Structure formats: C-alpha cells, structure tokens
Structure 1
C-alpha cells in the first residue's frame, strides 16, 4: 500500500508539473514570420522568401506599414536595388509582429555603421502633409518658415535597423521618431531623434553603439545632420566635444553613420546621445525622476525650478567677492564643472553658447548644479574665417549684451563669480592648463587628423547626395586648422587684458620614470612626455610630485626648495622655468601591511569614506601621511591605528555618524570626493613614499555600495581581490568577503545544482526498483 501510494503521488506530481508547462499553441504568441535570407549587404540581386506557416503574408517595398490591404505574398521577391521589405502575417485569430529587413544591394563599402529607416513615404514627402516638407501653412516670406510642417513636435512610429561596420545587424525593431533640432530643420537633410518604447516592442536601444566606454543601452538616439555645420565641415561639434573628454563635463558621445530612408541613401548622420533626463541618469548614476533639469534661462524640462530660483536670486543680490557668500554658492554648484563649461565655450568661440545651456542637479539636500556641454557647432569659425581673433571672454562677461546671443542673465553667474579672488585665481590657472594641454595646437590637430581620416573617404558620397560643394567643405576644414593654430595666442591676450595677469611665463617640466608631476591639481605629466606650457606672472601655480607604487620622490633638479618639498607653489617671477622631478625605487617597510581595505564612493547617506587597515602587530602613526586621487591630495591630521585595527577617513562627519553612530577612530574632512565608476587612490607616507595604491573601474549603479578587499593579506592592486558590496558598508569591521566572492558564489550554485540533480536521480532509481519489486 505504501509503495503504490508513493508511486501514485510521484506520478500525480509529475503530471501536475507537466500540465502546468504551457505549449506554444496555448500561449498568446504572435504568428511566426521569417525572412530568408535575412537582411544585410549583398553584392548582387537577391531573392527573398517570406515564410509564415500559420498565416497569410502581406508586405510593402516602399517603407510603409504593411496591413491586410497591402500586397499579398505569392512567391519569392526579386530585388535588384536596396530595398526595405516590411511584412506582417495574419490569420483569423492573430497576427505576427510588424517585421522588416533591409537588403543593401551593391552599396559602397564603408567603415561606418549603417542605419536603415522604413516609414510611409506619404508621411515624409506629401507636398501638403509631409513632415519633411514646408506644406501649405508656411510663411514663405520669413526665413524661419514659421508654420512649416517640419516644425512639428509629433512622434511617429517607424522601422529601424542598425548594422555595424562589419555587417552585423545589432538592432531591428519598431521605434518612434521625431524631427530634431532648431534652425537646422531648414536644411534638406533634417536631424531625427529616435526613441525606444515598450509599445514599439523594446524599451531601450539595447546595444553599446558608442563602444565599451559609453552606456550599453539608450532610451533615445539622435541622428544629427551636424546642425549649423551642415554643408560645411560636418565635424565641428564632434571635434569640440572630443577635446573635452578629460574635463569635468557631461557631454554627448558621437559616432558617424550612413543612413537610408526607405532604401534611398540619405547621407552621413552623426549618431549622438539626446540630452535629457535619461542622458543625465546614464552619465551620473542618478534617478532620472529625481533631478531638476533646466534649459535656457528657466525652461523646465524635469523636476522643479524652486532651487535654481533661490540660487540665482542669491547670486543677483549678494557680493560673491565676500568669501562667505562665495562659499555658500560653491556649496550649491559644481565649481570645476562650471569652469570647464565656460572655458570650453570661450575657447571654442561658440557664438550660440550664451543662453543655449542645459544644467541639472539631483533632488537631494546637498544636490549641486552641473552644466552639460552640447550644441557647439557655432564654434571654431563657423561663420567667420578669422574667428580665432574674437574676444569670447569679453562676450561671456558682457554686462549689457543684446537679447541674443549673450543677454545679461546669461553672463551674470560668471561675472559675479569672477569677483571672488579664489575663483578668479583658479579660473585663470585652469584656463591656462587647458590652453597648454587639451586646447594646444598639437592636441587639437591630433583630434582633427583622427576625424579627418575617418570622414574623408566617406564624404564624397554625402556631398554628392545633397549637392554640396567639396570646395566649401575643404575651406571649412582649413578654417578649423587655422583656428587650432592661432586661437591659444589670442585667448591668452584676452586673459591678460581682463585679469591683469602680468607677463607670460614659460614652463618646461619633465620627470624620471617612477612618478608624475601634477600641475594645479589638474594636469598630470608623466615620464613618457615632457611638458611645455605658458602661465601668467601674477598667478602662481601649484606643482606636486607623485611617485608610483614601489617608488618615492627623491628631489628636484633645476629648482632649489627648502626641505626638498614634494609639493610647492611656484611664484612666476622669472621669464622661464625648467626643472625635473626625480624618483627612485623604494619599498616602504609598511608596504602591503597598512592597506586601503574598503572604499565608499559618492555615498548619498554616509558621504564618501575610506577605511585603512593595519595588518601589523604594532601601532602605526599616520600623522601627516597623504591620501590622493589622480588630481587631489589630502594630508591626514593626527591619527594612528592599533595592531589589526582600522582607521576611517570620511568626507562629511555629520552624514557619516548619522549612519554609523558607533564608529571609532574616525578622521573627518577628506578634501575631495571619490568617483563612483573609475578612481585611483593612493596612501603616501610623510616623506612621500607609496605605502598602498588601488585603482578600480566598475559598472554604473544607482545603488549605494562599497568596494571591499576580500582579505587584508591579498594584493589590493589586483581587481580580482576586490568585491562590490551593495549597501552602506562596514567601517571598523572585517569585510564579509565570502558573501560577495564571485568564485564562491559560483561554486555554491554549482554545488546546489549537483545535489539537486543527485537527489532527483536517486528518487527515479528508487521508483524503478520499487516498481520491479526489488525493494
């Protein structure tokens, strides 16, 4: 009885499990529809079969949406020119998804990705209703053509395929699109914004179109006609945004592409990110619905204007030359981000930059305003062959400019900040740093040459498509080269006039292997390349020698300092300075014994903090030791660590102790923030030898986390010995490495699966043996 009961129960459970497994027919799945062969690039004519075993197929060849009124499929479709086939399968009960494939027939080879768009030609080109057309309501006598169809803001569905440069189709789906841009809509090639939504079948463009260093999925993508640079260089905006890759700026990634609309070649479009709340979230690890995003003067795009109105009212009504007032404003904005934004726009001579701005803040108690760099194509001599002479510094600090392009409200913040001596000192030196490095002729020409090599083979086809002048294109390329060569000289002259800088001073620095030199906590000079720059007599600069792991700073050559300081302020009294930092191999006695054990980057609740562990049997004094990142350093005040114990260094004491009220041996006031995605931190002894150093690069995350060393005795220079722990962290406590170890997690998972499989096999064997009467 027991044996039969066991067997019956086992069979019932099996039947129940089987009965709950849905068949394909029971699921409400769309009809299958296949294209044979798939879309792609073909050297010759191609025949395409459409296969739908359970439905009747209807298709179009002009890009329009297929319906039951479209042409019915009756046999292979013969193609002798590039064509978008869109199709749908229909039966009495259901339909397939709206599918499409593009067949590129004998198209030129390219190193660019290729994008194919399929959409009703009527929607685009109807003389009265088409959104690429003026239509009947445009005021033709005005150059902006108000009332024209192309000023619509409506969104329309279309079919999108993205092919990589190697021919792979990496995206094929329905999407939404809108016309994009301002006055560039007047050009025959119009910019387009693509958007992924659930109702179109996919809520993100799930492909890292800009490569591994950019986001791996996008809500929006822009196909840009180069804006005001259409018909000119076609690379201005991309060149300028590429020049600020190392700046403290949010800026759009870019990539050139060839676009086809309904099988017709539509020219080169630059793929760009769309600057909106999704862009901010993708680049800053914030919640897209918890930000204030504003453009122009007070056009709200997300969140609230309230904090910005308070901020700008304080600026208007208070003297920022007063240090207390300045410190308050500095607590409400990212100063270095704003400096970099202004410095870039001034150097570019972007004549459309005054009020054409976007800025945002996280909606937190300590959220600070940040500015986004975008739409720079009016720079680098777009409308003027000798624009390199323009005094853009005066333009951006004009007190009473016209309503466009630089009204008083657009220059107010920079004017008021420059009243503060600390800001002015930092602004002048930071600008000088940028002119010496990112905006030097050598750097700009390297970026230009890279873009030219990329675009030059592809441009003739684009120019022919839109009947554009090759001579004009080359003239604008020459303008860019001239601007790169001449601009730094004129900007320095403008700075000398504006800031009473005194004379220009030449600086030549170099370093031996084993370390680097940091200038103004901004520029890092390594041993593989000497540095030549120009600074200003009345604006001292800060110099710091930073040894690499396994080295220490030895001395300076070419300059005499008291106590052989590793870091000093250089008063620029002489016309020229030439010196070198010398480093020597050195293993500190505590190397690998006093270690960075846990790091909490950009933590909203506890603030940033670093935990240091003493793995020795002796008390270690850390007074006057130094913590650094790539650009900043902070000297530890009086502090020590007992044997096998911890020291915690935090940035914000009130935040930290609100989360960890029982924490002990805590030093507060860390002088810089810790980057959440990519950072290098080092711990130096009082005499400048590296005691410990770590680097990390992790995926973006909205959640709080710490990076924890798995075991104190492991090499913390090896990323494999670190784990990401989500949550607030464990200062003053051992790291629970066993919970986060990827290897152990994987081993545990396989062990559990193996045990489950073993139990299942044993049950089956027992059942068989019982059924045969062996047990």
Structure 2
C-alpha cells in the first residue's frame, strides 16, 4: 500500500546505511500491572523489532493506530533499534514524557497498528480485536511468526510461545441443535476411542464431576446441553453448547442463552455465556460465547446487553440480524424488554410492547441507512426457561457509528438522566458541541450568514425530521434523556442525531406537572420548542431547534416539512400499515409471552387500540398546534391533478407525488413551492389557467382549498390563458368571493412588481405588492381589507399589475 509521497528522506546512519523492514512484534492494549514506564505509569505499550545485522534509526518513520491516518505520529528525533533487538514504546498519548512515548493510546476493544517508512510506504500492520487486561498480542517466533494472544507477556524481551498446552478436540452431537416438533434422542457423533465425555443440562459448565455421556439422552422438552471431552494425557476440550428447542410452535426467531445458574439473575457486572440465534424457520444463524450484563433498570423481565469479545469467543458476529441493514458485522446487541412500554406492567392496560419498534420503523422509511436502532422481535430462552418476547436491537455506540457511518473517532454525546446537567460523553467530549451552542445562542440567527453557520454544522434537514418525529409521536422521555448525537472528532463531518428509546410515545400514559402527556391532544410542539415546562430547562436543552425557528427560512422549512410529512409518512394510511405489520408479527405469539408473565392479553389489545386511536387522531391536533405556535391563519387542502397522458411526478416542497389525484393539507401564511417533474417532452402540458409547467409555482400563501391541474394542450379546448414565457395576470379565484380571494400572475423574469386594488371611483384601496420578485408563478391572497386593515363593502373592484413595461387590468366581485 503506497501513500501519497510528499517528501523523500535520505538517512546517513551512524553505523551503516540500511534499507530494512522493521516489524511490530508485540503490544498490550490494557496494562494494569504488567510493566510501568519511567514515570511509574502502567501505560499501553508496543514493541518494534529489528531482525537485521545493522542498526536502524527511526528518525522520519511513522506509526499510527488508525489505518486511515497512517502518518499520525512521526519520529522527529534519532531513535535507534540495534541489530536483532527490540525497542519498547509507550502508547500513552503523552509525548512530553520522552522520545519513546507516542501521541496515541491503544484501544483494548480492538483496532490496528500501522508502521510506515519515511517514504510513506506501509511496512507492517496488525489488526486486533478485544484484548483482556494484562494480556499481550505478539508474534512467535519473534519478528516473523504468527500473531497470537500471549498469556505471559514479555515487554522488551523475546516472546514466549503462544500456547504450550494440548487440548482434547471438541466433540459433536447429533442431531444438530435447533427446533424440533417432538422429543429426540441426542447422541455423540464423534469416535470417542477412550475419550471421556461429560455434560450438564442446566446451563452450568461441565467438568469431570458432571454427568458422564455414556448413552443417548432422551429430551422431551427444551433443553441446553453443555459438553466437554477429556482424552488421557491432555487437557479438557473447550465447552460446546447445544440448544434443543422442542415443541415451541413459534413464528418469531429465538435467542437461546446458556449461563452458569449461579450467575442468575444477570446483574450489572459482565458474565460469560453462550448465545445461539435461530431464525423463524429454525435454522441456526449464529452461536458463540459472549459477555452479558443487565441493560437499564431492574425488572421482572429485564433487558440485557450482549458483547462479543475475543476473550470469550468471536470478537464479533457476522450475520444478517436485521434485514433492513446492509451490514452483517455486530460487536454489541441489546435484548430489550420494551422498557417503559413493557407488557405486562403493573396492571396497566396501556402497554403494547411495540411502541419503540413502530416509531423506529417509521423513521427508517425516511432514512433507511440512518441513525435509528434496528428492530427484530424474538423469543428468549435462558438455560431451559422461557423468558418471553424481547426485541433484539442495535446498540448505539462507537462500533455502531463506525459500521454505519464510517467514523471510528467521534464525540458521541448523550442527554441522559443520572449525569450532571444531563450530559454524558459516551465517547470524546462536549467541547466542540458547546462551541456551536454558544454561537447560536449569542448570534443573531435571523441573519443569513449566521444561519448558514448552523446549517453547515448539523445535518439540518435530518435534524428537523428527527425533531418532527419526536413531536408527532409525543415522546415525553426526551430532551434531557435519550437524546444522542455525534460528530467525528476531526470535524470533517457534521453533527448528526440518533433516534433512541421512544417507548413513551404514541400515547403511553404518563402524568407530570398536572399534564397528561399521553393525551393525543398534548402539544409537544410548543413544549419541545419553547422555554417553559418540564425537561426544557428554560431553553437549555432545545437550543438548536429554537435557533432554527428564529430564522425565517428555518421556520418556513419546518412548517412545510411538517406538512409534507403529515401528508405522506405520517398519514393514517402509512402509519397504520406500519402498526398493523408489526402487530401481525407478534400477535400469534403474544399468548406465550402473556402466559410466561401471568398477563391478560385483553390488556395488550386495549393498548393496541389506544395506539391505533392515537395514530388516527394525532394529525388533526398537530395541525392545530402548528397554527397556534406560528400564528397561522388556517390550513387548507391542495389537490394535484394530471391528465392520463401525463407521465411524470409533481414535487411539492420536499416531497415527490407520483399517484394522482393527490390531496394534502398545507398552511396559510406560508410560501409553498410546486414543480412539475415530467418524464417526457413538456411542450404539450401546462398548468390550467396559469402557464407552462417548465416554471415552478411559488404560492405566497393559501387562503382557501385549491386545485392545481396539469392539462394536455392537445386535448384542451380552451388554451387562451396558457402562456409560458410572457407576463400574465390571471383572473382572481374564487370570483365572486366572500372575504378572501387569490390573485395570481406570471413573471418570465425577475421584475419589480406593483399590484394595487381600486374601487369603481378610481380610488386605490389596497397595495398587495410593491417590490421586486423572482420569476415564476406567484399567488397573493387578498382578505377584502384596505391598507388600514378596514373591511371593504360589497361591490366591484379593479386590480392592476405593473411589471416593467407590462400592465394589465382585471375586475373582481366582492359579495358579503
């Protein structure tokens, strides 16, 4: 691998001029007590080895813990490695302690070490997974041997062999682990030939005091078998674990755990266990030893965090756990119990076990490769006991971010309960994010330049979609909790928010400060964008959204984007489709779960009905919340129609419409953009009574329900009003009208426009516009009031447009 060459160094060595490959020989990524440096500190360390007959000066060489940044540290002083010798370096990120101290630390969770010569040519590298404390990873034989874990590390000295012990080969059983409809006989499928085999059936690790496996075992119920083999003169084999699930009749996949019974119940410390995953057809997906600990708070059905580590077995799994993700490598997974939406829960009839999954599935429609936690419902067995329905989830940590977004060094931050000021730095620190918040709080965000700074530092549109989702779904457990966001520490990318833990949404019952937060009418828009109320902190915890809404562009985009989503993703049709699909996945199996936890499924049905009602009625209340928050006049329908011959779509604001006729709800006092997107020649099509479809329609405001219709000119009888490249003043609509009408016009180019309204005596009563406007189709509302905001009487009125040299007059009738 050759990196871009920027310099060529010529070295005159003290002894001889040499051109050699020195190698990485051994390292330790978690040093607790093995060796201290010259400051008495137990830091990470690594060895470089010189297997030649000449000394090598490291001056100008590079070493790094990141293969995407191979030139991270350059040796800027003469540092020699003598022939056939080893040099010990300290990876402590403290170069002030001497020339053998590097500017990075090693990650015991796994990363890489890269060695590059002065010509920026890669010389050696090693990639490693998680290492236990005080275990090193090294070559044997030194310099040229294979890599392996060193039980006896040897910093600065020749390496010991990786392993001098011989183990008995592991055995196999027949039939294979899996799902069976009836009882089976399990036998050993390996030629024993004097080998003793021992087994357990309770999840414990077998030893020579366990049951001897001397004849087939008859299983009539779900059982975990753990076996070892022992050949005379050798050490016992590794433990093998076999899950046999009998007469289950489930529709969901199954996760089966085997763990020492003495380690139950699983608590906050990490325990070793074996995990197997069987898909819904009963096929084994993956099985390996791993670490497990409790995730979240204690509960009868508690959640668990599973971590795949080399000290237990595989450092990761490689399996398509979540079909909606393109990657298959996972370091950590969560077995989640639905948390605050857990069914059953203290007799509540409001729980569904599905709220969080529904919300994350909806968000995945907007961002299929975005920052949400994928969702797979499963049945869980711990040893031989059934534990009900869980949800297998992605854990949002640095491994998740690296896999999904490609960054391995990030500031991953979290607003979370239990931390000072609700600030938790999962990775990195808050410094860069704090700078952004200081800027947006102290600068005038109505100014375009300042607003651009904000937009350039966050995924602006994605952030607003995230915020809109939380508002629509009515998630109270937010703002100071369950809010995660990250950015690469290098600053090469923007801040991005991650969706996590939305169990309190979709009408989950919760009372606080006299407010029922599960009410479909509760105004989460005002709460989450304001300065008052619980968890807002007088605006401390919603600075970014408030900064956006202080800018006209930001406010208009937010309103229109909310309307776009109400008309598409958050429509009853779409949300109920997501809801019904997830309910269908678990409905046939929920009875097993209810029986396990002594629950009444009528409570589950009631919770589902409440979520369904919430979905159906929420949009109407959201519309009122938007009108009230932004003091808008009202909401009106826009209908888009096209002829059968039209082959194309129509873009309205941020969404593309492909099926017609289509109707959506939008807000008055808010500019709207509509653009035809034909897939064929456009000469034959026009907007009815407006003009050519080649230009976008810029509607300044809606004041009534409106139809925008594309017509086929070859099929249309009346085309007198259809123009494409000329100035044009349209007849107001409706006409006659009662209090409100719309006046539209076409501008072929940017122009200074004056539109004024006169009574029959020739007196000017109202100026609608007197200023410059860009080209396009423009609609202006008139509320039948004069320039002094006084209502006018019924009668005939004249409106005149003057745009450059173009002037035209039309009449309209006001009836009251």
Taking structure 1 as the reference length, what is the TM-score of the superposition? 0.65
**Counterpart in 1 of 2:523?**
391
Counterpart CA distance in 1 for 2:572 and 2:336 is 27
Answering whether residue 608 of structure 2 is matched by residue 477 of structure 1, we say: yes
**Counterpart in 1 of 2:387?**
266
Shift of 1:563: 4.4
Shift of 1:464: 1.1
User: 668, 683, 705: which is aligned to 1:576?
Assistant: 705
Answering whether residue 293 of structure 2 is matched by residue 168 of structure 1, we say: no
User: 531, 539, 542: which is aligned to 1:408?
Assistant: 539
Cα distance change, pair 292–269 in 1 and its aligned pair in 2 (3 A): closer
Shift of 1:581: 4.4
Cα distance change, pair 95–540 in 1 and its aligned pair in 2 (3 A): same
Contact 1:444 1:484 in 2 (8 A): yes
Answering whether residue 493 of structure 2 is matched by residue 367 of structure 1, we say: yes
**Counterpart in 1 of 2:794?**
none
Structure 1 or 2, whichever has the larger Rg, is 2
User: 533, 536, 546: which is aligned to 2:667?
Assistant: 536
**Counterpart in 2 of 1:47?**
185
Contact 1:294 1:302 in 2 (8 A): no
Q: Aligned to 1:425, what secondary structure does the other structure show?
A: helix
Answering whether residue 658 of structure 2 is matched by residue 526 of structure 1, we say: yes
Q: Aligned to 2:469, what secondary structure does the other structure show?
A: helix
User: 164, 180, 197: which is aligned to 2:309?
Assistant: 197
Answering whether residue 252 of structure 2 is matched by residue 123 of structure 1, we say: no
Contact 1:32 1:52 in 2 (8 A): no
Cα distance change, pair 44–499 in 1 and its aligned pair in 2 (3 A): same
User: 228, 234, 249: which is aligned to 1:93?
Assistant: 234
Shift of 1:461: 1.1
User: 280, 296, 304: which is aligned to 2:401?
Assistant: 280
Q: Aligned to 2:176, what secondary structure does the other structure show?
A: coil
Counterpart CA distance in 1 for 2:470 and 2:363 is 11
- Per-residue CA deviation, residues 175-227 of structure 1 (Å, 9 max, x unaligned), is 11111124xx2x21111111111222212221101126442221111111111
Answering whether residue 429 of structure 2 is matched by residue 304 of structure 1, we say: yes
Counterpart CA distance in 1 for 2:392 and 2:386 is 16
Structure 1 residues 161-240: aligned runs within 5 Å? 161-182=276-297, 185=298, 187-211=299-323, 213-231=325-343, 232-240=351-359
Q: Aligned to 1:245, what secondary structure does the other structure show?
A: helix
**Counterpart in 2 of 1:339?**
464
Contact 1:59 1:72 in 2 (8 A): yes
Q: Aligned to 1:174, what secondary structure does the other structure show?
A: strand
Shift of 1:478: 0.9
Contact 1:175 1:195 in 2 (8 A): yes
Shift of 1:557: 5.6
State how many pairs are aligned.
527
Q: What runs of 5+ residues in structure 2 fail to find an aligned partner?
A: 1-144, 146-163, 344-350, 417-421, 511-515, 715-816
Counterpart CA distance in 2 for 1:83 and 1:405 is 51
**Counterpart in 1 of 2:696?**
567
User: 442, 451, 454: which is aligned to 2:582?
Assistant: 451
Taking structure 2 as the reference length, what is the TM-score of the superposition? 0.61
Q: Which has the higher helix share?
A: 1
Answering whether residue 609 of structure 2 is matched by residue 489 of structure 1, we say: no
Counterpart CA distance in 1 for 2:235 and 2:560 is 68
Shift of 1:293: 4.1
Contact 2:306 2:333 in 1 (8 A): yes
Q: Aligned to 1:198, what secondary structure does the other structure show?
A: coil
Structure 1 residues 518-667: aligned runs within 5 Å? 518-520=651-653, 522-527=654-659, 529-548=660-679, 551-554=680-683, 559-581=688-710
Contact 2:531 2:537 in 1 (8 A): no
- Per-residue CA deviation, residues 353-379 of structure 1 (Å, 9 max, x unaligned), is 112200001233442101011101101
Contact 1:32 1:53 in 2 (8 A): no
Cα distance change, pair 584–88 in 1 and its aligned pair in 2 (3 A): farther
User: 633, 639, 648: which is aligned to 1:515?
Assistant: 648
Q: What runs of 5+ residues in structure 1 fail to find an aligned partner?
A: 1-19, 21-25, 125-129, 132-149, 586-775
Answering whether residue 277 of structure 2 is matched by residue 158 of structure 1, we say: no
- Per-residue CA deviation, residues 607-646 of structure 1 (Å, 9 max, x unaligned), is xxxxxxxxxxxxxxxxxxxxxxxxxxxxxxxxxxxxxxxx
Q: Aligned to 1:331, what secondary structure does the other structure show?
A: helix
Contact 2:220 2:246 in 1 (8 A): yes
Shift of 1:300: 0.7
Counterpart CA distance in 1 for 2:271 and 2:443 is 49
User: 373, 395, 399: which is aligned to 1:252?
Assistant: 373
Counterpart CA distance in 1 for 2:685 and 2:612 is 38
User: 166, 169, 172: which is aligned to 1:34?
Assistant: 172
Shift of 1:431: 0.7
**Counterpart in 1 of 2:591?**
460
**Counterpart in 1 of 2:776?**
none
- Per-residue CA deviation, residues 329-387 of structure 1 (Å, 9 max, x unaligned), is 21111111110111000001101111220000123344210101110110111106961
Shift of 1:584: 11
Cα distance change, pair 553–364 in 1 and its aligned pair in 2 (3 A): farther
Q: Aligned to 1:350, what secondary structure does the other structure show?
A: coil
Counterpart CA distance in 1 for 2:310 and 2:667 is 56
The RMSD of aligned alpha carbons is: 2.6
Q: Aligned to 1:545, what secondary structure does the other structure show?
A: strand
Shift of 1:499: 0.7
Q: Which has the higher strand share?
A: 2
Answering whether residue 212 of structure 2 is matched by residue 72 of structure 1, we say: yes
Cα distance change, pair 557–406 in 1 and its aligned pair in 2 (3 A): farther
Cα distance change, pair 446–554 in 1 and its aligned pair in 2 (3 A): farther
Contact 1:241 1:252 in 2 (8 A): yes
Shift of 1:469: 2.3
Counterpart CA distance in 2 for 1:406 and 1:171 is 46
Cα distance change, pair 556–381 in 1 and its aligned pair in 2 (3 A): farther
More displaced 10-residue stretch of structure 1: 164-173 or 72-81: 72-81
Counterpart CA distance in 1 for 2:575 and 2:431 is 40
Cα distance change, pair 27–121 in 1 and its aligned pair in 2 (3 A): closer
Contact 2:685 2:692 in 1 (8 A): no
Q: Aligned to 2:285, what secondary structure does the other structure show?
A: strand
Structure 1 residues 305-324: aligned runs within 5 Å? 305-324=430-449
Shift of 1:531: 2.4
Counterpart CA distance in 2 for 1:164 and 1:431 is 38
Shift of 1:260: 0.9
Counterpart CA distance in 1 for 2:536 and 2:243 is 44
- Per-residue CA deviation, residues 223-282 of structure 1 (Å, 9 max, x unaligned), is 111111011211111111111223244111111111111121110111111111122222
**Counterpart in 1 of 2:791?**
none
Contact 1:292 1:363 in 2 (8 A): no
- Per-residue CA deviation, residues 668-709 of structure 1 (Å, 9 max, x unaligned), is xxxxxxxxxxxxxxxxxxxxxxxxxxxxxxxxxxxxxxxxxx
- Per-residue CA deviation, residues 712-750 of structure 1 (Å, 9 max, x unaligned), is xxxxxxxxxxxxxxxxxxxxxxxxxxxxxxxxxxxxxxx
Contact 1:40 1:167 in 2 (8 A): yes
User: 215, 220, 244: which is aligned to 1:103?
Assistant: 244
